[in-house]
Chains A and B, each alone.
Chain A
Amino acid sequence: MDLKIPVESYTGKISEVTIGATPEQGGTRSHTVTIGGSSALPFHFFEGEFPHTPVVAMEVFDKVPAKFPESLMNYYRDVIDRPAEMAKKCVENYNADLISVSLEGTHPEKGNKTVDEAVEVVEQVLKSVKVPLIITGHGHYDKINEVMKKVCDVTAGENCLINFVETDNYKTIAAAALAYDHTIVAQSPIDVNIAKQLNILLTDMNFPEERIVIDPLTGCLGYGLEYTYSIMERIRIDGLSGDKMLAFPMMITPGNETSRVKEAKVQPGTYPEWGDPELLNAYWELSTAMSLLSAGADLLIMYNPKAVEIIKTQIKNMFNSKYK
């Protein structure tokens, strides 16, 4: 029998999305980060082009998250309540490619911080680090709309990644992001059709295709990971097969999801078969991230520095594949 490598050639290509802006481009970042652009399934160098590696963002908080895992506190205890300092630590010590500023504390039931307080945090982080920023909100529509409108305004020109809009609440935030030249995250609840519908809604309001990133919603390892995994594979296959409304880079959030599950904050000795809690926290986030990386993640927001270190090394190695 003849041995021939069976190659899939796709008609489509994932769009390239750039986050951040340098002084020449009207921002203050030292460089920009571009994701996407692939023409085959993840890491299939033998049959496609991959102009950009997946990148890893780390997250800082406007308010210390309730029940933050102890294993993570061990890395962040000195800076967890000072987002600008924490951002610096993530970039300088842990090599974060981007910083996500979580504004969860503005949620009326999780701190109810004011719009001005949110703006102040964002401005501090902008000053303390030079990498591009992600601005991460929450699901309280009225409040987050007010917060994002103002944040988009004061960061005009920085080309932040505004995270996130969903089908029930996209107009206000998307309009602000559009007006002040930011990029946007379109979040859908583990559903190909809703992901597509939201992207159509956004492009209908003239949101440029090269400024949309899909968040398919991350199910953590052991908590629905398989749903996210398969939805991501389907989105990517459809995107590559010519469905332009699904041909966007994808973002996942293994850090936040892992930090909320039982496995991340188990007390030593509670479940002997689960092993060492410090290791388990890092492994859980790492395994969630690695498997979803194989399904098509282009941007990962992570928390555990050890998991970040390993995943960045593995991405680099994979991009040195002999098939390239």
Chain B
Amino acid sequence: MALSGLEIFKLLPKTNCGDCGIPTCMAFAMKLAQKKAELTECPHASEEAKAALGAASEPPIKLITIGGAEHIEIGNETVMFRHEKTFFHPTGFAVQIKSSENNEIVNERIKEIADYKVERVGEELMPDLFFITNDNTNKDKFLDIVSTIKKLSSKGIILDCADEEVLVKGIELIKDDRPVIFIKEKVSDKYIEIAKSYNCGIIITDNTLEGLSEQAEMVKNAGVKNIILNYTSENIGDILQTNTILRRSALKKNYKPFGYPLFTHIHGENSYELLAKASVCICKYSSIIVLPVVDKAMLYTMLTLRQNIFTDPQKPIQVEPKIYTIGEPVEESPVFITTNFSLTYFIVSGEIENSGISAYLIVCDCEGQSVLTAWAAGKFTGKEVAKFINEIKLEEKVKTRKIIIPGFVSQISGELEENLPGWEVIVGCQEASDIPSFVKNVKIA
């Protein structure tokens, strides 16, 4: 937690010696609070002041980067609930690859994860990580997998390998790509040494809070910086609660041993169960989830949930302003118009679709605002809408000369007609849910 200028002042020598280049300790404290100066500029600062300021400048949950060019960042969260501010770093999705599985399956899965991409509301969504488990007596197999992934993808890799020699060889292959090592048992000195010498992250595992706390302190005191906490339980209720306790301890109590991102390896009897548990983990604080298997539908569902939960509540998701088609419209089909707030677009397009007709939906650039907000802000006026319609050359694309505007902005119809000579403006319904009955009862094209 950041200290105020006054709190910092109390920790300074209060001699006003000016050796830091600033005339008074109070002024220096203010600069420190604003992060415009560093404590090292004061030659007389006590060890106590250094420790206190150092701790205070650390984020309550450590930020950790994993992977090469396609890396992800996890941690550095500041709130318990997304409505308090936002969740900053989306949960990383990892898929488990086991060295005991046959080559064909392994290669297929690697390719599937490396290549999977899906577009949703203008964002490209994809899984982020590989989790490789060494469970084959033939140790070369594990290393082969690491090499294969390295060739196909620069996504982050988590190494789960109890054989230290093999682990080190594995790390060697990807040492510049910020790998993470996964420790299933209580962490030993050997692993700490490996993590330190290669500067990689370490996932520590326990099934109690006490055990996690002890291990985290030990690993940190040994000099490892990037720690990730793995609380294990088959019960998703236990994980939800433990994750809550861990994050709350870090944010509200400044409990340092829990100031790290959280990891969850999901187990389940079938893909439905895995998805159900993953959904809870995405909402409730897991920064990495590992799945034993995935299919495309599951990835798409999870990626969409992650996109929803990690959307900044203060910045609405926008859809691309353009002409959208619904069904199979022809030149004579009706033309609807609305704003590019994603929710507005989804609801309006969904209801037009439900009405059973084919149509064009013109989505104007209103910086992601809903109809009434955009109108009030002057972004959805007759002039602006007309300008956009001319820009997209709607006249050349359709034969109809009627355009349907949302009922809530009936007041723009006059101005719109003035600015769009040759077009007739029809005032539509206020609520999207009335579109099906509106198209039945009004002549719209």
Spell out A's residues near B (CB within 8 Å): 1, 3-6, 41, 43-46, 66-67, 109, 139, 219, 221-227, 229-230, 233-234, 237, 260-263, 272-277, 279-280, 282-284, 286-287, 290-291, 293-295, 306-307, 309-311, 313-314, 317-323
Asked if A1 and B272 sit within 8 Å, CB to CB, the answer is no
Given contacts A229-B309, A277-B297, A287-B301, 14 further A-B contacts (CB under 8 A): A3-B249, A6-B249, A43-B240, A45-B237, A109-B440, A219-B343, A221-B304, A221-B308, A224-B343, A226-B313, A314-B277, A317-B237, A321-B237, A322-B238
Known: A275-B296, A280-B301, A317-B235. A6 touches B245 (CB 8 A): yes
Q: Are B433 and A291 in contact (CB under 8 A)?
A: no
Shortest Cβ gap from B77 to chain A (Å): 15
Closest to A320 in B: B235
Query: Contact residues of B with A, CB < 8 Å?
Result: 81-83, 116-118, 120, 209-210, 213, 217, 233, 235-238, 240-241, 244-245, 248-249, 252-253, 255-257, 271-273, 275-277, 279-280, 282-284, 295-302, 304-305, 307-309, 311, 313, 343, 346-347, 350, 353-354, 356, 433, 436-437, 440
In the complex the two chains form, is B313's CB within 8 Å of A314's CB?
A: no
Q: Report A314 CB to chain B, min CB distance, Å.
A: 5
B313 partner, pick from A225, A230, A274, beta carbons under 8 A: A230
Min Cβ gap B286→A in Å is 12
The minimal Cβ–Cβ distance linking B355 to chain A, given in whole angstroms, is 10
Q: Could you jot down 5 A-B contacts, CB within 8 Å?
A: A43-B237, A44-B244, A109-B440, A221-B301, A230-B83
- Distance in Å from the Cβ of A201 to the closest Cβ of chain B? 21
Residue among A222, A294, A306 making CB contact with B240, cutoff 8 Å: A294
Tell me whether B273 and A321 are in contact (CB under 8 A): no
B276 cross-chain contacts in A, Cβ below 8 A: 286-287, 290, 310-311, 314
Q: How far is the CA of A233 from the CA of B309 in the complex (A)?
A: 13
Task: Determine the chain A residues whose CB is within 8 A of the CB of B253 once the complex forms.
Answer: 4, 6
Which residues of B lie under 8 Å from residue A322 when comparing CB positions? 233, 235, 238
Least CB separation from A108: chain B residue = B437
A226 touches B240 (CB 8 A): no
Choose from B248, B283, B299, B343 the contact partner of A291 (Cβ within 8 Å). Answer: B283
- CB within 8 A of B237: which of A223, A275, A318? A318
Residues of B within 8 A of A227 (CB): 343
Q: Establish whether residues B238 and A323, one from each chain, have CB atoms under 8 Å apart when the complex forms.
A: yes
**Across-interface contacts of A3 in B (CB, < 8 A):** 209-210, 213, 249, 255, 257
Q: Is the interface of B mostly helix, strand, loop or mixed?
A: helix
> Which residues on the A side are within 8 Å of B248 (C-beta)?
6
A222 to B424, CA, bound (A): 34
Q: Is the CB–CB distance between B279 and A6 below 8 Å?
A: no
Shortest beta-carbon distance from A159 to chain B in Å: 30
* Distance in Å: Cβ of A48 to nearest Cβ of chain B: 11
A222 with B116: in contact, given A6-B248, A44-B241, A279-B297 (CB under 8 Å)? no
Q: Closest approach, in angstroms, between the C-beta of A39 and any C-beta of chain B?
A: 15
Chain A positions within 8 Å of B356 at CB level? 66
6 A-B pairs closest in CB distance: A275-B297, A275-B296, A318-B237, A321-B237, A290-B279, A280-B297
- Selected from B117, B244, B300, the residue in CB contact (under 8 A) with A280 is B300
Complex alpha-carbon distance, A323 and B244, angstroms: 12
Whether A46 contacts B295 by the Cβ 8 Å rule is no
Are A224 and B82 within 8 A (Cβ)? Answer: no
B residues within 8 A CB of A313? 273
In the complex the two chains form, is A222's CB within 8 Å of B120's CB? yes
With contact pairs A67-B354, A223-B346 given, residues A291 and B277 touching in the complex (Cβ less than 8 Å): no
A273 with B255: in contact, given A3-B210, A227-B343 (CB under 8 Å)? Answer: no
B350 touches A261 (CB 8 A): yes
* Contact of B83 with A275 in the complex, beta carbons under 8 Å: no
CA distance A293 to B276 in the complex (A): 11
Closest to B252 in A: A6
Would B300 and A275 count as touching, CB distance under 8 A?
A: yes
**In the docked arrangement, what's the CA distance between A290 and B305, Å?**
11
Cα separation A227 to B277 with both chains bound (whole Å) = 21
Closest B residue to A110 by beta carbon equals B436
Given contacts A230-B82, A276-B296, A286-B279, whether A225 and B236 have CB atoms under 8 Å apart is no
Q: Which of B241, B308, B346, B440 is close to A229, meaning CB atoms less than 8 Å apart?
A: B308
- Complex interface: chain A residues within 8 A of B309 (CB): 226, 229, 291
Measured between C-beta atoms, what is the minimum distance from A75 to chain B in Å?
15
Taken together as a complex, chains A and B put the C-alpha atoms of A142 and B249 apart, in Å, by 53
Given A223-B350, A283-B275, CB of A139 within 8 Å of CB of B283: no
Q: What is the CA–CA distance of A189 and B183 in the complex, to the nearest angstrom?
A: 47
Asked if A294 contacts B280 (CB within 8 A), the reply is yes
Residue of A nearest to B298 (CB): A283
Q: How far is the CA of A98 from the CA of B236 in the complex (A)?
A: 25
A contact residues around B244 at 8 Å (CB): 41, 44
Residues of B within 8 A of A290 (CB): 275-276, 279-280
A291 to B277, CA, bound (A): 9
Given A230-B81, A295-B283, A318-B240: A307 and B272 interface contact (C-beta under 8 Å): yes
Q: Say whether, besides A109-B436, A274-B297, A286-B276, A291 and B235 are in contact (CB < 8 Å).
A: no
Per the bound structure, the CA–CA distance linking A283 and B297 in Å amounts to 8
- A318 is contacted by which of B235, B245, B347 (Cβ under 8 Å)? B235
Enumerate chain B residues within 8 angstroms of A309, measured Cβ to Cβ. 272
- A72 and B295 CA atoms in complex are apart in Å by 20
Tell me whether A314 and B275 are in contact in the complex, defined as CB-CB below 8 angstroms, given that A221-B305, A283-B301, A291-B305 are known contacts.
no
Q: If A261-B350, A273-B117, A321-B237 touch, does A284 touch B284 (CB 8 Å cutoff)?
A: no
Decide: A273 and B302 in contact? CB cutoff 8 A.
no
Name the residue of chain B whose CB is nearest to the CB of A8. B248
Most buried by A among B237, B273, B284, B313: B237
Asked if A1 and B238 sit within 8 Å, CB to CB, the answer is: no
Is B272 within 8 A of A310, CB to CB? yes
B433→A139 contact, CB < 8 A? yes
Q: Separation in Å of the B410 CB from the closest CB of chain A?
A: 19
B371 to chain A, nearest CB (A): 14
Expressed in whole angstroms, the Cα–Cα distance for A19 and B243 within the complex equals 34
How far, in whole Å, are A229 and B283 apart by their CA atoms in the complex? 9
A275 contacts B245, C-beta separation under 8 Å: no
Asked whether, in the complex, the Cβ of A291 is within 8 Å of the Cβ of B255, the reply is no
Closest residue on chain A to residue B240 by CB atoms: A43
In the complex, what residues of B have CB within 8 A of residue A46's CB? 241, 245
Closest to A4 in B: B253
Complex Cα distance, B433 from A260, in Å, reads 12
A310 touches B280 (CB 8 A): no
In the complex, the answer to whether A222 meets B83 with C-beta atoms within 8 Å is no
Cα A263 to Cα B353 in complex, Å, equals 13
